[in-house]
Amino acid sequence: MDTRTASIRQRLTELREALTRHGLGALLLPSADPHLSEYLPERWQGRVRYSGFTGSMGTLVVTTERAVVFADSRYWVQAEAELAGTGVELFKIPTGAATHHLNWLAENLPRGATLAVDGAVLGLASAKALADTLAAKGIVLRTDLDLLDEVWADRPALPTAPVYEHRAPHAAVSRAAKLANVRQAMLQHGASHHFVSTVDDIAWITNLRGADVDYNPVFLAHLLIGAERATLFVGAGKVDGDVAAALAADNITLAPYDAASSHLAHLPAHAVLLVDPRRITLGFRQAVPAAVKVIEAINPSTLAKSRKTADEAAFIRRAMEVDGAAMCAFYAWFEAALGREAITELTIDERLSAERTRQPDYVSLSFPTIAGFNANGAMPHYRATDESHAVISTPHGLAAEGLLLIDSGAQYLGGTTDITRVWPIGMPSAAQKADYTRVLKGTLALSRTRFPLGTLAPMLDSIARAPLWEAGLNYGHGTGHGVGYFLNVHEGPQSISPAIPEPQMAMQPGMVTSIEPGLYRPGRWGIRIENLVLNVASAAGDEFGEFLEFETLTLCPIDTRCIDFSLLRDDERACLNAYHAEVRRRLAPRVTGAARDWLEARTQPI
């Protein structure tokens, strides 16, 4: 047994001892913090600490005898490797939104047992589903205990990174205008107050940014908005005097981070509070006095921030150009260095990140770079480490042949990028070309789609899958996620996926979404081709109403050496050629030397 697995087993033993002390039958550890964030500060990474599974999504259940991680298909290979030897089981679920852990708890805990989960990190909607499932089986739910505080001796403190302003011209809409927008929506709901906990909504409303969460320029805070004033609950010392003064000018008062519950508890009885049940925790909902009327609806800012303005779209296009220039410089070096220099998956991360840092308005990466060679590319959320990574090239030749998948992105003051490309190392096989081409056909098909204004995003998912389905193939993740404006790389409300459509998922002008079909052969290779697109008005439509179409934002060649041309129609060739012509036109002025030569070579028409 290695040191890592031994430490996890010891931690589980300590956790089970705490369960016994409190008379608990099980503990539920969701991947969540008090803001229900996707990327968590270290303080709330309990699931990672007590299981060893490092995927960005997953749920851990620990009973007195068993420990089980519930993870979807994006993480199965990774989870099996990371859980090996820890005593933690993997329960495979179909999607990240699946709730199989609820039925597992109901079936595996005896009647009368008590399940603990920290209400401060349990989403309100999730809490309702959990309570209903357990009550039907006579299982008690306890939400007033943060067991991690008791057993995690060196638990990390709250992050302390400073908060700063996202300024004009990149902040194209003023803070006052955004607050007015939210208050207008409150008025329509009949609400006098609105409580916001999701950090990207708060960053958008306040035109503030931070660095409390890796890769997303956000900060930990809560926001209570009234008819005329608002209160921002944020850590002491994180907001300097100049920023505080600017906030005060817009009638935003600062308060301690841990005072949010108290402020909610002291709302007047005549208040009407608007909350989003999917974006607020049970703990905050329980703090609201019984006399206060509560309206549950999606945060108005969630839809508003998804609809980028014309000025924001212009900055995003520029961010895509500088990001594309960085990739041209990287790939020019990469192809020249193959077989002549030592290159690993880690090298790719280092060199590509370095090229991005040289670009104007660069702030950080937007997520951990995924560089997966051959079998590693078959894990959609793979991450190379010092202990485990593939070697691609040596100074004496290629280490192996196959497919290299690179999924990367960056945060710029004027936009957030996310792009995936696949490159052949050596000569791709016929089977690899066939898979690659079907994925490419899916990307092209959805990119060219026109659809009525207000189409529910999940309805578009099958368009990208159809070329794969035709060959009996599929992939386990969604086809597209919303992308923020110098904010979270994953944002809603739209989701091009097999999710059950909901009204708030309607496609609207200005939304930025990824298109990223894939295909994964476990143990062999993975393929994903991803571009970001912008919803724009289409010339189509008249008596049948308004239509939208996609403007492709991402600017980087799509490799043509992996294409099986027998599977590509003439119109698909024309579409790819037109894209490459636009990539060449937009990026050529931003690159020189080897990078420009590479761009010219990789954008030649087929």
Peptide bond connecting 452 to the previous residue in cis, omega within 30 degrees of 0: no
Neighbours of 173 (CB within 10 A): 18
**CA pair distance 279, 299, nearest whole angstrom:** 8
Q: 472-508: per-residue pLDDT in tens?
A: 999 999 999 999 999 999 999 999 999 889 999 999 9
Q: Give the model's pLDDT for residue 435.
A: 98
CA dist 27 and 150 (Å) reads 13
Say how many C-beta atoms besides its own lie within 10 A of residue 131's C-beta: 16
Span 419-432, average pLDDT: 97
Q: 601 pLDDT exceeds 90?
A: yes
Task: Compute the distance between CA of residue 524 and CA of residue 373 in angstroms, rounded to an integer.
Answer: 9
Q: Do 474 and 517 form a contact (C-beta atoms < 8 A)?
A: no
| Stretch among 29-38, 91-100, 494-503, 532-541 having the lowest mean pLDDT | 91-100
Question: Counting Cβ atoms within 10 Å, is residue 20 exposed (0-12), middle (13-18) or buried (19+)?
Answer: exposed
Q: Is there a cis peptide before residue 428, judged by omega within 30 degrees of 0? A: no
State residue 1's pLDDT score.
Answer: 46
Percentage, residues of the chain above pLDDT 90: 89
Query: Model confidence over 173-210: pLDDT tens digits?
Result: 999 999 999 999 999 999 999 999 999 999 999 999 99
Would you call 182 helix, strand, or coil by DSSP?
Answer: helix
Q: Say what the pLDDT of residue 383 is.
A: 87
In the predicted structure, residue 55 carries a pLDDT above the cut 90: no
Eight-state DSSP code of residue 543: T
Which residues, at least 6 apart from 82, have a Cβ–Cβ distance to it below 8 Å? 51, 52, 53, 54
CA distance 411 to 307: 18
The reported pTM is 0.92
Q: Is the pLDDT of residue 425 over 70?
A: yes
Query: What DSSP state is assigned to residue 31?
Result: S
Domains and CATH numbers, the chain: 3-151 (3.40.350.10), 164-304 (3.40.350.10), 307-602 (3.90.230.10)
Task: With CA atoms as reference, report the closest residue to 449 among 468, 462, 431.
Answer: 462
What is the spatial distance between Cα 121 and Cα 55, in angstroms, rounded to a whole number? 18
In which band, very low, low, confident or very high, does the pLDDT at 125 lie, cut at 50, 70 and 90? confident
Q: Check whether 36 has a pLDDT greater than 80.
A: yes
Residue 39 binned pLDDT confidence (cut-offs 50, 70, 90): confident
Whole-angstrom distance, CA of residue 113 vs CA of residue 495: 37
Task: Answer yes or no: is pLDDT of 540 > 90.
Answer: no
Beta-strand pair 140-142/114-116: parallel
Mean pLDDT of the region 20-28: 95
DSSP state of 378: G
pLDDT at residue 387, as a whole number: 84
Mean pLDDT across the stretch 338-346? 95
**Cβ neighbours around 468 below 10 Å, total:** 19
pLDDT in tens, 140-185: 999 999 999 999 999 999 999 999 999 999 999 999 999 999 999 9
Query: What pLDDT is recorded for position 500?
Result: 87
> Is 71 within 8 Å of 90 (Cβ atoms)?
yes
Mean pLDDT, the chain, rounded, equals: 95
Strands 293-296, 370-373: pairing kind: unpaired
* pLDDT bracket for residue 73 (50, 70, 90): confident
Q: Chain-centre distance of CA 103, in angstroms?
A: 26
Q: Which of 423, 444, 441, 421 is nearest to 566 (CA)?
A: 441
Query: CB of 461 within 8 A of CB of 442?
Result: no
Q: Of 238-242, 376-380, 541-545, which has the strongest mean pLDDT?
A: 238-242
d(CA 29, CA 116): 9
Strands 89-93 and 67-72: parallel
- pLDDT for the residue numbered 541: 65
